[in-house]
Amino acid sequence: MIVELKQNTPQSKAEELAIATKSILVPHSPLKLVTYSKIKELPKVLEPYTQNFTITHTDLQLASRTYKQKTIDIALSPEIKIGGSTNHTLMITGPCSVESEEQIETVAQFLVKNNIKVLRAGSYKPRTSPYSFQGLGLEGLQLLAKMGKKYDLKIITEVRDYSHIEEVIEYSDIVQVGAKAMYDQGILRRCGKANKPVLIKRGFGSTLQEFAQAAEFVLSGGNENVMLCERGIRTFETNTRFTLDLCGVAWLKEKTNLPIILDPSHALGARYGIADLSRACVAMGIDGLLIETHPNPSVALSDAAQQLTFEQFEAMNASLKTVANAVGRKMI
């Protein structure tokens, strides 16, 4: 149950009520208490302080359409806005990893040429082997921030573990919580206190409910700017890297109020089908697309097989505008 407290409820009273009802106090106006979802009746002690309350079916609460019917909006700038009453589908692209200043600047210039506003690249890479390229760390974050400033781009980059979360929050415009970190409650709870939008990727072995509840850790901490990213789950199929769960996307759209971003690059794990998959994703009426693109994918230090060349990206991007138009959306 989500209980919105009356505007004049003092913080100290709200804290007291949270303890009395074993609920979480969401420090965002209006102050809210979120109880375990099994509570279906307003606790008596809250009655004098309550302006309204929502009974939820599961612990998908703040992120549920039961609570907020409309998709929340997230604004990276007055023009770069998704969700809410917009019909925008945001293109996010860039290499898997920031590898050097020359590489990331070439990509930044490519984005500017194509009027794309959000640059992605990892600098703390959560590789499956400690012997693979691990990313440039802080140096890479600084390069990304430099490109953001120089080319007026917004930066999304990943936090791999808690040890560098402050750096990622400082240097990024959107904090990416990767598939392997989706269950990391230290990261999620810290993101709940951050003043930056957070993109959470679905763990490849997690259910939709677990995925949506990961967002609850951030939202209940007071950060209202969360987006969900489907990037493929592990199934019995081995010919593709993962399986992009579009049924899951339909469920997330139906049940959650968060913008949905799709990442076909990590799902397929190969270049050949990314354009087709991206068109299918855009046709679903999603809020954004995350695509890996590299100036020379054959020498990429991570995810070489799936990154698009600039030529491939441009051809795909042109066709996405047509698909977006056909379903009443606009690529931004």
Q: How far is the CB of 11 from ligand PEP (least distance, A)?
A: 37
Among 178, 221, 259, 297, which residue interacts with ligand PEP (rule: CB under 6 A)? Answer: 178
- Residues 125-164 touching ligand PEP, rule: CB under 6 A, are 126, 158
Stretch that binds ligand PEP, among 22-30, 98-106, 172-180, 279-287 (CB under 6 A): 172-180
Min dist CB 221 to ligand PEP, Å, is 21
201 binds, among Mn ion, ligand PEP, none (CB under 5 to 8 A by kind): ligand PEP
Which CB sits closer to ligand PEP, 158 or 216?
158
Name 30's Cβ contacts closer than 8 Å, sequence gap at least 6: 4, 5, 6, 7, 51
User: Does residue 179 interact with ligand PEP by CB under 6 A?
Assistant: yes
Task: Please choose, from the candidates 244, 241, 214, 210, the residue with its C-alpha nearest in 3D space to the C-alpha of residue 226.
Answer: 214
Structure tokens at 272: 């050949």
**How far apart are CB 292 and Mn ion at their closest, in Å?**
6
Kindly state the greatest CA–CA separation across the chain: 65
321 binds, among Mn ion, ligand PEP, none (CB under 5 to 8 A by kind): none
Which is closer to Mn ion, CB of 100 or CB of 209?
100
Of 73-102, which residues contact ligand PEP (CB under 6 A)?
A: 96
Q: What are the helix (H) ranges across 245-298?
A: 246-255, 264-268, 274-283
Cis peptide before 30 (omega within 30 of 0): yes
Report the alpha-carbon distance of residue 218 to residue 94 in Å, rounded: 26
Is residue 62 close enough to count as binding ligand PEP by CB under 6 A?
Answer: no
Residues 250 to 309 in contact with Mn ion, rule: CB under 5 A: 303
Q: At what angle do helices 185-192 and 208-219 cross, to 10 degrees?
A: 40
Output DSSP code: residue 53: E
State the nearest-atom distance from the C-beta of 158 to ligand PEP, in Å: 6
For the purposes of burial, counting CB atoms within 10 Å of the CB of 67, is it exposed (0-12), middle (13-18) or buried (19 or more)?
Answer: buried
Binding mask 260-299 for ligand PEP (x = CB under 6 A): ------x---------------------------------
Alpha-carbon span 112 to 173, nearest angstrom: 17
Least distance in angstroms from the C-beta of 241 to ligand PEP: 9
Distances (CA, A) of 30 to 8, 14, 27, 256: 9, 11, 8, 20
Half-sphere exposure of 88 (CA within 13 A, CB side): 21
Considering only 83, 94, 122, 297, the residue that binds ligand PEP (CB under 6 A) is: 122
The residues binding Mn ion (CB under 5 A) are: 96, 303
Kindly list the residues in this chain that would bind ligand PEP in the complex (CB under 6 A).
96, 122, 126, 158, 178-180, 201, 231, 266
